Amino acid sequence: MLELAPSEDFITLQYASLSHRDIPSLQYSYQLEGIDKDWVNAGRAITTSYTNLLPGTYLFKVRSTDEFGKWMTNIRQLKIVVKPNLWQTWWFMLACMIAGSAAGIFLYLAYRQSQQKELMLLRISKMLAESQLMALRAQMNPHFIFNCLNSIQECIVTEKYAEASKYLNKFSKLFRMVLHNSGKDLVTVEQERQVLQLYLELEVMRFDGSFSYEIIVDPMLEEDQIVLPSMLLQPFVENALWHGLLHKSSDRKLLIEFIYIDEDIFLCRIEDNGIGRKKSFELKANSAKYKQHDSQGLRITKDRIDLLNKQGNHAILTITDLCDDGGNASGTRIEIELSTYLTNA
């Protein structure tokens, strides 16, 4: 049996028939139960890869032909278990259900206090329950999820119902889009831009407009046609915000660009005018809080880019430390070159 951590959602399996490998006509076929509906004919290939495996139990089966070209009845099997994330475990779901119930009780009491607030409170309660359910299933940083829910709860407690409703609308819309895209290997530039737009709108609301951002799509780029791996940029955007901009006292700016290079290549650029990577590393080294908060999102995203290259796609990640005229750190630039015709992402 092979056990994988939640972040290890892609694997490469290698197999070989020791007793028939010298036969010129040797053929292989394999099937991953839960993913492949039928046997996959691999020819003479002895490796296969699977990406974006959801938590659960899978059974990998492989077989070969004999010296007469017939499929052997002797089938080798390997049980593969992908462990769930913390927020996908039953006890975590139970805790969120209890928290949701407590929020529901509070909303009911508020409803009893004022009939004028009845419609608004019922609407908020419904959207909060929906958002919590989607948060359990979504593959985003749990710190972001809980921070959003805490902000919503704070709006409710302070009776800022209009602001809470606006926050919940955006929160629910974001996670509907994330869930819609979670089953896809590739999404369009337009879909990725919409997810980033909603994510940043929520963060701007949560931090009282203390930073500004801009998302620019090159007019020459067909954003509804060109694709990239789903949620590829969000970890970089989150890192730029949390570890670059929010440690700066003022004039915090974030720029996201999708740039047309030529008919085969386009560029995704994320640039902030924050404190820079060196200062950010120093803060992390001196603070247990930041060590605990460190996300695996960046590492996983870099692994995804490496995997794209191994699959024969054009995918290049470049990180540049920006400096002002005096040589002082003035931000970070992330650039990801991608093929306009990605395959097997």
End-to-end Cα spacing for the chain:
26
Give me the pLDDT at residue 258, please. 97
Give me the pLDDT at residue 219, please. 93
Please give the model's pTM, rounded to 2 decimal places. 0.58
Report the chain (345 residues): mean pLDDT per 10 consecutive residues.
77 81 82 89 88 85 87 88 67 65 64 60 54 44 66 73 82 82 82 92 87 95 90 88 87 95 94 90 66 57 78 88 89 94 61
Give me the pLDDT at residue 8, please. 74
Q: Is 173 helix (H, G, I), strand (E, B) or coil?
A: helix
Cβ(50)–Cβ(56) under 8 Å?
Answer: no
Give me the pLDDT at residue 133, please. 43
Torsion, CA 270, CA 272, CA 276, CA 277, rounded to 10: -30
Give me the pLDDT at residue 97, please. 72
Give me the pLDDT at residue 311, please. 74
Distance in angstroms (rounded) separating the CA atoms of residues 196 and 193 = 5
Token pair 């931090």 is at which residue? 207
The one-character DSSP state at 140 is S
Give me the pLDDT at residue 138, please. 43
Cβ(61)–Cβ(36) under 8 Å?
Answer: no
| Residues 6 or more apart whose Cβ sits within 8 Å of residue 125 | 103, 104, 107, 108
Cβ(45)–Cβ(94) under 8 Å?
Answer: no
Give me the pLDDT at residue 136, please. 40
